[in-house]
Structure 1
Amino acid sequence: MAEVNLLYIGSILSAALGLLALYLVRKNETLDWNESIAAHILCLMFISKGVQNASAAYYFTASGNEWQFFFQLSTMMEYFFGGAMVMMCLVYPIPFLRTKKHLKIAALVLLGHLSLKIALNLAGMSPHVLQLPGTLYVAGCLVWGTVYVRFRTLPQEQRTESTRKIALLCGLFLTLIMGHAWMWWPGLFMQADYFFFIDAGGGAFTPMSWDFSLLNGYAFCISVGLVMLVVELYMAINGDRSNLVYIVSTYYILGAIGYTVLSSKDSAGFFSDAAGLAELWNTLTSSMHFTIIRPIIALYVLMKYDLFDINPTTRPIAKTMAIILIVVATSAILELVQTIIPINQMVSAALLGIIIALGVGWEERSFNSLVTDPFDIRKGVDERWYPDLDIKTNHISRIDGYAFVYLLLSLLISYIVWQTGTPMETLIERTEASS
């Protein structure tokens, strides 16, 4: 029940962050082309994640055939999130796509991959290895990981504040996308069942080839995270400490603690029916990362890396967005505390008031520090890293329209799947035949 509540909370956080941030990004006409594309995509990613979290929560609690609608909609949003993540990593903070032609080719390739996933899904052949599960994680790790290592390990005389912030930004994006996988690192090296027998379908729903491809992606994520941890520890020992060392080490320490909890179980997975301490641990770690930590990281990036134009007109909206994040997040934390320690409702209400008061006070100070001293990742960096492309702002804003069309298409497809039930019936028949 706590996990479902977290999904609802994550839906509110992600959707509110995405919608308000998108409004502010559209008002900012000072962004360079790659920053503008990345800002639009990041906002749309969290709008889609808000829809996905709500759909997943309704799917878990559905009592009739409507579960097919929510399951399909959640799947469609996950497809969008993964493709958008790859596109963003190719343009920000260092653009790998350096011409308009490169942008068009990348967009067409990702659109083709997305179309293939949807086609396999509607044919009742999803999950299928041709959907390349885990590959998007590998792509993000390769791009952001390469940029991170390149700028974090520069010779001392070439390091500037901008190069450090570029490395920090890549590290934050890697944490946002794959931080949950880092907490499974002991399972990889200790050959624990909870890692090697992950079954995202909760049974014989996914073929072995699909599970193997997904695990390869997770293993690659864990390896990249370990490289980051070693680099950050080395740099800290040599006097160039970054806040990233605390973030990455926290995930890996939680993974070490979680090994003692999860290794005592016979099975694991996103939708496992585990009970007791293991289920509670997954809620406090992986679910917390998906629903609360991700929006917090995204808000930090949007504000601290100057993707908003904070002025007297937009400042109240930006502050409102931060307050919503703080209030909802603190409420979620209290909900988790109630899951662990039963608390009287009157005591709970009093604690919530105190936590919100403290949270809003913290929000005021944090908001001011974020908007008064934003990072400039181009200052002092060789201009060859940033090709100058003449892309009009209204052309970049069309990304929002395309995403809205995709959302409408997803709703239509989900409705058809719900009413006909054909893809789901075909999938169930194939699953039963192969088991």
Structure 2
Amino acid sequence: MAEVELLPIATMIHLILGLMTIILVFRSEKSNHNERFAALILGWILLILGINYLFRTIIDYQLNNDLISTGEYATSFLRFGAQSTWVIFSGLLIVLSLTYPYPLIQNSKVVTLGCLTTILITLIFIPTGIVTNFEYDSASSLFLLFPFLIWLGVYLRYLHSEILDDRKEDRTISAVSALLIFAAFGEWLTYWLGIITTQENHFSSRFAVGGSELSDPNLINMVMEIALQAIVAVSIISIFIGEVWRCRKKGISGISIFTFSLFVLGILWFIFDYTQMGIVDSCVETQCNSFNKVYNTYYIFTSQIIRFLLVPLIFMYVILNFNLIETGGENVWFTRVLVLLMLLIVTSSIIELIQTVLPIPQMITSALFAAAVVVFIGWEERITSGMIRQSSSVANTLLESGEVVDFTISRSEYKAYNVSVGVSVTLALMISLLISLMGINS
């Protein structure tokens, strides 16, 4: 129920932030070219997630109101469209990991590679996935291994140099790497202890049985899913150990607190999941039973908030706080509108969530929201300055150390990448619609 309520809000947040980020990229002529390209990719990631959530919002509405049967949904444009946009999202993460924070390709050819990668993934994996009824969709999740491994490697490399070589400026690079891992895979990281103890395998079996009406469970999917889960667990444990080490040497930081929070959430999730094992296994043994109401509430205020509200905030924090785009000059007013809009939407969402759980009168929640509006408007400059502290640029840190070379990306190349992603999305939706109408995989 909570996911249904959060999906429309998440759709609006991601679409608005994605569009405004792309606009700001083209207004940031003085930004470092590689970081500006990274901001463009992040803008498209937010936009693609918004489209994905839009499909899922419509799907949930139709299924919950019995407007579409499971059989009709299995071959519907909505299902194909949602799966297709997720594949494109995975492809964009690969391009981002090659670009930022450490540019593995240090010339403008990275834009060409980004265009080709996105279009090839669209033309190869989306039609194949639809025709095979997404029976091997976990294979496409292997795309996510690349950003995991690259960002984790960059994090460990620059954490090591910060502590052992006393290069304080390298904290910027390791911090951004950790934030990108949290933003791209945040919800999964909270299940790390269940993955290590193989508890998550019970949930995988439940979801496989529950989704058998759409596609048959198979060994390839299970193996790919286990491999991805292993990478998730290794990532959070590695970052946790790294932040503990850093706290002892350099003191605690915001990244450390967030890491420890995810680590503790993983332990709590393991305990709560253990209490539901009988319900989880019911799908395999007899028939699927519903989860406990308290368990669902905990799911709302942890996993769902991380996935739908915290992820876009982290992406925007990286964009605004690490100088990926220009936030001064003519862009000041645009940036302030962006920050205030983001805070107001998230605040109203959390207030509404609390109201669905606690019996709070509408008048009180309206007053709380009005108070939040007054605070945001009154302290607008202070809040914006707090979110945009102009931290050291990752690109400047790398250039000053001589580890990378500077390169230029022309405005036409930015436009070409915009067009390539737009064409990929259009092709994905057209392929989804045509195959759905022709009933090729029914």
TM-score, normalised by the number of residues in structure 2 = 0.87
Matched to 1:231, the amino acid is G
Q: How far apart are residue 361 of structure 1 and its match?
A: 5.1
What aligned pairs does 1:206-355 form with structure 2 within 5 A after superposition?
206-265=217-276, 266-267=279-280, 274=291, 276-355=293-372
1:342-379 superposed Cα distances (whole Å, 9 cap, x missing partner): 22222222222223434555654231133353322244
Match of 1:72 among 80, 85, 93: 80
Write the distance in 1 (CA, Å) between the matches of 2:28 and 2:206.
Answer: 43
Q: How far apart are residue 124 of structure 1 and its match?
A: 3.3
Write the distance in 2 (CA, Å) between the matches of 1:293 and 1:198.
Answer: 27
Write the distance in 2 (CA, Å) between the matches of 1:91 and 1:246.
Answer: 27
Unaligned runs of 5+ in 1: 426-435
After superposition, the Cα gap between the structure-2 partners of 1:161 and 1:366, relative to the gap in structure 1 and judged at 3 Å, is farther
Aligned-pair identity in percent equals 20
1:79-115 superposed Cα distances (whole Å, 9 cap, x missing partner): 1111001110111111112345566456545543443
The question of whether the paired residues in 2 share the 8 Å contact of 1:93 and 1:169 is answered with yes
The question of whether the paired residues in 2 share the 8 Å contact of 1:127 and 1:207 is answered with yes
RMSD across aligned C-alpha pairs, in angstroms?
Answer: 2.7
* Residue in structure 2 matched with residue 199 of structure 1 by the alignment: 207
Write the distance in 1 (CA, Å) between the matches of 2:224 and 2:393.
Answer: 38
After superposition, the Cα gap between the structure-2 partners of 1:154 and 1:18, relative to the gap in structure 1 and judged at 3 Å, is same
Write the distance in 2 (CA, Å) between the matches of 1:372 and 1:187.
Answer: 37
- Which 10-residue stretch deviates more, 10-19 or 152-161? 152-161
Secondary structure of the residue aligned to 1:226 is helix
The question of whether the paired residues in 1 share the 8 Å contact of 2:80 and 2:130 is answered with no
Q: How far apart are residue 41 of structure 1 and its match?
A: 0.6
What aligned pairs does 1:8-87 form with structure 2 within 5 A after superposition?
8-62=8-62, 63-64=67-68, 67=73, 68-87=76-95
After superposition, the Cα gap between the structure-2 partners of 1:198 and 1:235, relative to the gap in structure 1 and judged at 3 Å, is farther
When you count helix as a share of all residues, which structure comes out higher?
2
After superposition, the Cα gap between the structure-2 partners of 1:359 and 1:233, relative to the gap in structure 1 and judged at 3 Å, is farther
Matched to 1:82, the amino acid is S
* Residue in structure 2 matched with residue 369 of structure 1 by the alignment: 386
Secondary structure of the residue aligned to 1:355 is helix
* Residue in structure 1 matched with residue 2 of structure 2 by the alignment: 2
Match of 1:169 among 149, 152, 176: 176
Unaligned runs of 5+ in 2: none
Matched to 2:60, the amino acid is F
1:3-59 superposed Cα distances (whole Å, 9 cap, x missing partner): 111111111111111111111111111233321221111000000111111111111
* Residue in structure 2 matched with residue 432 of structure 1 by the alignment: none
After superposition, the Cα gap between the structure-2 partners of 1:370 and 1:102, relative to the gap in structure 1 and judged at 3 Å, is closer
The question of whether the paired residues in 2 share the 8 Å contact of 1:232 and 1:245 is answered with yes
Write the distance in 2 (CA, Å) between the matches of 1:333 and 1:200.
Answer: 32
The question of whether the paired residues in 2 share the 8 Å contact of 1:14 and 1:46 is answered with yes
Q: How far apart are residue 273 of structure 1 and its match?
A: 5.6
The question of whether the paired residues in 2 share the 8 Å contact of 1:181 and 1:221 is answered with yes
After superposition, the Cα gap between the structure-2 partners of 1:40 and 1:273, relative to the gap in structure 1 and judged at 3 Å, is farther
Matched to 1:220, the amino acid is I
Matched to 2:280, the amino acid is S
Secondary structure of the residue aligned to 1:325 is helix
The question of whether the paired residues in 2 share the 8 Å contact of 1:199 and 1:211 is answered with no
Write the distance in 1 (CA, Å) between the matches of 2:353 and 2:268.
Answer: 19
Write the distance in 1 (CA, Å) between the matches of 2:290 and 2:319.
Answer: 37
The question of whether the paired residues in 2 share the 8 Å contact of 1:202 and 1:272 is answered with no
TM-score, normalised by the number of residues in structure 1 = 0.88
Matched to 1:321, the amino acid is L
The question of whether the paired residues in 2 share the 8 Å contact of 1:187 and 1:196 is answered with no
Secondary structure of the residue aligned to 2:58 is helix
* Residue in structure 1 matched with residue 410 of structure 2 by the alignment: 392
The question of whether the paired residues in 2 share the 8 Å contact of 1:330 and 1:359 is answered with no
Write the distance in 1 (CA, Å) between the matches of 2:425 and 2:342.
Answer: 24
Secondary structure of the residue aligned to 1:154 is helix
After superposition, the Cα gap between the structure-2 partners of 1:55 and 1:240, relative to the gap in structure 1 and judged at 3 Å, is same
- Which 10-residue stretch deviates more, 17-26 or 340-349? 340-349
Write the distance in 2 (CA, Å) between the matches of 1:174 and 1:241.
Answer: 19
* Residue in structure 2 matched with residue 428 of structure 1 by the alignment: none
* Residue in structure 2 matched with residue 404 of structure 1 by the alignment: 422
Secondary structure of the residue aligned to 1:173 is helix
